[in-house]
Amino acid sequence: MKRVCEQLAALMGMDVPRTTKEDKNTNTVELDSVNVALLNKHLVLTSSSSSAAAGQIISTVERLLASINDMMEARLRSDDQLRDQRDKDQQMMSEWMIAAAVIDRICFIVFSLCFLVCSAVFCYLATFA
């Protein structure tokens, strides 16, 4: 449908807005590898030099970090899905705008032709009657 509307618009001399896909801005939130390495090093040093209480703290921290990482990944997936849906909606809206412009132009041409033909017939009948 989009191709037909674009061809009709080009045939009638209409400007068709071209939709270019913008480079998707990939806003990825990732932990810096240096910070992760330092944290792991700190955890290893702490676990080797501390007692069982420190081991519990380390496991709690590791679970919290894993949970934060899972939440960040879920958020990124949902953001990607929302961005994809928004792009699809924008593309569909653009296609319908082109179709509406083509239909509007066709209706204008048909109305103008009918008006001119009816005016010419009325003038012809008025002069010979």
Cβ neighbours for 79, distance < 8 A, ≥ 6 positions apart? 27
Under 8 Å between Cβ of 90 and 19: yes
Q: What is the mean pLDDT of residues 106-125?
A: 96
Question: Does pLDDT of 113 surpass 60?
Answer: yes
Phi/psi at 83 (5° precision): -65, -40
**pLDDT band (50, 70, 90) for residue 13:** confident
Structure tokens at 43: 């955890």
> How many residues belong to the chain?
129
